[in-house]
Amino acid sequence: MRTADGGEPAAAAPRARGADGPTPMGSERMEMRRRQMAAAPKPAVPAPGPHRAGSRGSNACCFCWCCCCSCSCLTVSSQEEQRLRQASYELRRGDLPTWEESPSPTLEEARAWAQSFEQLMLTAAGRNAFREFLRTEFSEENLLFWMACEELKKEADKAAVEEKARVIYEDYISVLSPKEVSLDSRARELIDRNMAAPAPDMFDDAQLQIYTLMHRDSYPRFLSSALYKDLLRALSERAVEA
């Protein structure tokens, strides 16, 4: 059949017949699509749980993940360093030899200590006063090392020399000791070679270095210290009373 203008009539849209009557094909496909999606299983949503070790969380800075270096990590590190430093000092104070036995110095003897470092080191009373001052500066090991070397020189027995040399090395030369003295590399190398065959004078070079250090560095401060001035004042008052 032709239309009024002489053209062909438009083709009728195909229809599908459903249970309740004809249904457009497109609508049926959409309905089937909705049914398939409704029947498909839904993906499970993971339950919240604790952060894994590798994830960033509130403690990320403890794993060096971020730049929040002002957290408690630095505080703990500082406290640990302070604790070790204090422990080292307590160890240094705890196992030191006893003081040398000596009578109380006279006023003339104490005044003579200001004339030269040799006068100070000549008597046990002078060494005790100087050692007390060095303790306030945390450098008491310098005098103790010097005294230990002096004792070693008096030893003649080979076995005793070897034992005392080993003790001096462990106490004052080893880098692991809290009482290690400050020596240059040449003196340390010489000591290391001499340890193969210890001798009473094997620490002479090192002893001279420490003696010079005390003479130039600690001795002037000792003379101007309150400790030495108080001692002179006490001896002066005692001399007046006598």
Residue type, 174: S
- Angstrom distance (rounded) from CA 47 to CA 222: 72
Query: What pLDDT is attached to residue 121?
Result: 97
**pLDDT of residue 64 exceeding 50:** no
pLDDT band at 128 (very low <50, low <70, confident <90, very high): very high
Q: Which range (8-12, 65-69, 79-83) has the least confidence?
A: 65-69
Question: Can you give the pTM of this predicted structure?
Answer: 0.60
Query: What pLDDT is attached to residue 56?
Result: 41
**All domains of the chain in start order, with CATH:** 107-241 (1.10.167.10)
Residue 219 or 18, more confident: 219
Averaged pLDDT of the chain: 76
DSSP state at residue 123: S
Question: What CA dihedral angle connects 67, 68, 69 and 70, to 10 degrees?
Answer: 150
**pLDDT of residue 92 exceeding 90:** no
Query: What pLDDT is attached to residue 80?
Result: 57
Query: What pLDDT is attached to residue 78?
Result: 54
Query: What pLDDT is attached to residue 100?
Result: 77
Segment 187-230, tens digit of pLDDT: 999 999 999 999 999 999 999 999 999 999 999 999 999 999 99
pLDDT band at 79 (very low <50, low <70, confident <90, very high): low
pLDDT band at 101 (very low <50, low <70, confident <90, very high): confident
- The 10 Å CB-count burial string (b at 16+, else e) for 197-221 is ebebebbebbbebbbebbeeebbee
Query: What pLDDT is attached to residue 83?
Result: 53
Query: What pLDDT is attached to residue 198?
Result: 97
Query: What pLDDT is attached to residue 41?
Result: 53
Find the helix or strand (DSSP H, E) in which 7 lies.
Answer: none
Q: What is the mean pLDDT of residues 126-131?
A: 96
**pLDDT of residue 239 exceeding 60:** yes
Segment 23-44, tens digit of pLDDT: 444 555 566 656 666 655 555 5
Tell whether the torsion through CA atoms of 140, 146, 150 and 151 is positive or negative: positive
